[in-house]
């Protein structure tokens, strides 16, 4: 039974960087890993690519031949992959003993309302692939209330659309305050606590104050579903990567059905201890230290 991760998220969220980091980490842990690039616009691939959609179709050829723009071209490429899914499954069959990382495009409409990706994943699940959606969003969105609410809505819609075990991740947590300061502690954003506090900030904004009822409705919608929460990630930090992989392995059942030689350490730890992220430790390491450094320079 093949296991794998579906790496999704908006442009710039660090999907390709995460795939490269996860490949190195899991390979070092003794796991046989195959990265599958399903982004036809990804011309610069840093990781060893076991399967590349560019061998089937490329965005450049699609745009030139069909006179489509980048977004339309991506949509066509994914639909073309769906129609030729036998090509992908034949490639995957050659790597049945591997753990898969699927690197998807960054167009969010593919994961919120367009059905092609959902159909591809459904077909793979019918072939007994055990998949976990890893949804990356840039952590610095937490510094802006409006952007944070939009990220919550995006994450919620993606969860509902894909219908997979789902892990939401605030990536680049070490750079979270590069674009501003957090109004609350990091745990407020990872646990998605009472959004009424953010609602006050939205309503005070010159633009957001024009849409008070809409702001309230959006916050209530997110809280009514009560599905969204985040883990954090600094892809270059071993402990951060270890913690996240434990969460993903549990979400997909890998720790219970995928125990293989060379993976005992990470999986046994996850099975015995259970993993709940200590956000206060992340806060102290990546945020409070940054503030102290800024004060020292001042």
Which pLDDT does position 291 carry in this prediction? 58
Helix (H, G, I), strand (E, B) or coil at 6: strand
Taking CA atoms, 262 is separated from 104, 157, 166, 217, in Å, by 28, 37, 25, 49
For residues 250 and 275, is the Cβ–Cβ distance under 8 A? yes
User: Domain 3-192+228-297 is of which CATH architecture?
Assistant: 3-Layer(aba) Sandwich (3.40)
146 exposed, middle or buried (CB, 10 Å; 0-12, 13-18, 19+)? Answer: middle
- The torsion angles phi and psi of 169, rounded to 5 degrees, stand at -130, 130
CA distance 69 to 88: 25
* Per-residue confidence (pLDDT) for residue 142, from 0 to 100: 93
What pLDDT score was predicted for residue 292?
45
Give the pLDDT score at 287.
86
Low-confidence ranges of the chain (pLDDT < 70): 208, 257-276, 289-298
Handedness of CA 12, 283, 151, 242 (dihedral sign): positive
Structure tokens at 162: 């894909």
For the chain, domain boundaries: 3-192+228-297, 194-226
Q: What are phi and psi of 5, to 5 degrees?
A: -115, 140
Q: CA neighbours within 13 Å on the CB side: how many for 297? A: 6
> How many CA atoms, within 13 angstroms, populate the side-chain half-sphere of residue 43?
4
Give the E-state strand segments of the chain in sequence order.
3-8, 33-37, 49-52, 99-103, 130-138, 166-171, 231-232
- How many CA atoms lie within 13 Å of 296's alpha carbon, on the beta-carbon side? 6
Q: What is the pTM of this model?
A: 0.89
Q: For position 273, what pLDDT does the model report?
A: 46
């Amino acid at each position: 039974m093949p296991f794998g991760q579906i790496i999704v998220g908006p442009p710039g969220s660090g999907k390709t960087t995460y795939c490269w980091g996860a490949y190195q980490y899991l390979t070092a842990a003794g796991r046989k890993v195959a990265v599958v690039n399903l982004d036809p616009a990804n011309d610069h691939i840093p990781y060893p690519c076991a399967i590349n959609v560019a061998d089937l179709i490329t965005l450049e050829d699609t745009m030139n031949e069909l006179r489509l723009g980048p977004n339309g071209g991506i949509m066509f490429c994914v639909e073309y992959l769906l129609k030729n899914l036998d090509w992908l499954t034949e490639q995957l069959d050659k790597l049945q003993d591997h753990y898969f990382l699927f690197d998807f495009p960054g167009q969010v409409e593919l994961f919120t309302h367009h059905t092609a990706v959902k159909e591809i994943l459904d077909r793979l699940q019918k072939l007994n692939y055990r998949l976990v959606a890893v949804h990356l969003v840039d952590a610095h969105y937490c510094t802006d209330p409006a952007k944070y609410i939009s990220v919550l809505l995006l994450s919620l819609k993606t969860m509902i659309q894909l219908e997979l075990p789902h892990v939401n991740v605030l990536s680049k947590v070490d750079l979270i305050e590069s674009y501003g300061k957090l109004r609350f502690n990091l745990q407020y954003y990872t646990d998605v606590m009472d959004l009424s506090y953010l609602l006050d900030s939205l309503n005070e904004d010159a633009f957001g104050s024009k849409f008070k009822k809409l702001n309230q409705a959006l916050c209530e919608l997110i809280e009514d579903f009560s599905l969204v929460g985040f883990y954090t990630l600094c892809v270059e930090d071993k402990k951060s990567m270890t913690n996240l992989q434990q969460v993903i392995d549990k979400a997909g059942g890998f720790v219970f059905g995928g125990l293989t030689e060379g993976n005992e350490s990470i999986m046994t730890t996850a099975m015995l201890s259970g993993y709940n992220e200590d956000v206060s430790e992340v806060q102290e390491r990546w945020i409070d230290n940054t503030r102290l450094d800024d004060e020292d320079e001042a």
